Structure 1
Amino acid sequence: MGPFNARLRSLDISLGIGETSRVTGATPTQIRYWEKKQLIHSRRHDANGNKRYSLANITLIVMIKTMLDEGYTLAKASEEIERSHQKADMLHVLISTRLQDIKREATQTVFNFGPLENDPDYDVIAQVTDKTAKLYKQPVRKTATEDHTDRVVSPF
């Protein structure tokens, strides 16, 4: 996914305030106010200096607009979005530092998060179906000459 993510980030996708308003349902006045409150950010894109909103900011505008339509105050919506970003950041750290393998089976997906810190002879395994997620510890199979950095994980 690295090259895909890099390519996606390199695309210069942005909309002016009128088009952003049209696709998000937020009024230009709302968008300007949210920008003033630093909930979203625009950039000057071309020589005439018109404001442009990136795909990430358009997503934020949709989130804010949806939450306001559901009855949230702007302050509460902002807090919820910040909490959501913090959770996503921590999930990214977990996956990028611990996920070692993913295997898709007929009825489930099995994630191997590697050895337990306090019991390195066992890997943390998550078995996920459409409706459940269960965690297990699974013994790591080792040959006599292996250490924990060159181990053979037993099949799922």
Structure 2
Amino acid sequence: MDNLTEELQKVKEILLNRNAILVSMTDISKITGVSARQLRYWEQKGYIESVHDQSENRKYNITAMVKIGMIKNFIDEGFTVAKASEKAQEADQITTALHRVDSEKFNQASVNDTGLEFDLGSVAGLDEGKKLFLNVPTDKDSFFEIR
């Protein structure tokens, strides 16, 4: 069984650092289909936030990029920009919770004969020493296991 814990920690450091990847306004426009003018307006209204680099250019982190895409999709579905932003904020709460679970629980990973296994640690109500594992086989659906 190959231990991937060190590699997992490196990947998590990158993914959990929301400012590790910054994208320019031009690139965000290309990726999401939202014009630079709209982005500036949304930022002025507080719907999105940018990070300014040393030259004061607007850059967007991965969280903002996802939120921009969600707002655009909700607008395309017929919502106002204000309601679309509200719905995107609700979805962002889910993303934040998933980031938290990731940072707290996905700390050990290994490769076995069938795929990957994540040690999710102890679970309240289980016997002491028992842990929850998430198995991600390459050829079938993922499943949880208690050992």
TM-score, normalised relative to structure 1: 0.61
Q: Is the 8 A contact 1:41 1:53 kept in 2?
A: no
Q: 1:20 to 1:96 in 2, by over 3 A?
A: closer
Higher relative contact order (CA 8 A, sep 6+): 2
Task: Give the equivalent residue in structure 1 for 2:3.
Answer: none
Structure 1 residue 22, shift from structure 2 partner: 4.6
Structure 1 residue 35, shift from structure 2 partner: 1.5
Task: Give the equivalent residue in structure 2 for 1:87.
Answer: 94
Structure 1 residue 38, shift from structure 2 partner: 0.7
Unaligned runs of 5+ in 2: 1-9
Larger radius of gyration: 1
Structure 1 residue corresponding to 2:144, chosen from 127, 135, 139? 135
Task: Render the CA deviation track for 1:61-85: whole Å, top value 9, x for unaligned.
Answer: 3332233224444344323322332
Task: Give the equivalent residue in structure 1 for 2:76.
Answer: 69
Structure 1 residue 124, shift from structure 2 partner: 0.7
Q: Partner letter of residue 53 of structure 1?
A: K
Query: What is the alpha-carbon distance in structure 1 between the residues aligned to residue 44 and residue 85 of structure 2?
Result: 13
Hey, which bits of structure 1, 4+ residues long, moved more than 6 A?
none
Is the helix fraction higher in 1 or 2? Answer: 2
Q: 1:93 to 1:54 in 2, by over 3 A?
A: closer
Where 1:115 maps in the other structure, the secondary structure is: coil
Percent of residue pairs bearing the same amino acid type:
26
Q: Partner letter of residue 40 of structure 2?
A: R
Unaligned runs of 5+ in 1: 139-156
- RMSD between aligned residues: 3.5
TM-score, normalised relative to structure 2: 0.63
Matches within 5 A, 1:44-123: 45=53, 52-56=58-62, 57-118=64-125, 119-123=127-131
Task: Render the CA deviation track for 1:55-107: whole Å, top value 9, x for unaligned.
Answer: 44344333322332244443443233223322222222223223342122343
Q: 1:125 to 1:55 in 2, by over 3 A?
A: closer
Task: Render the CA deviation track for 1:102-156: whole Å, top value 9, x for unaligned.
Answer: 1223433221112222222311112224662322211xxxxxxxxxxxxxxxxxx
Q: Partner letter of residue 130 of structure 2?
A: Y
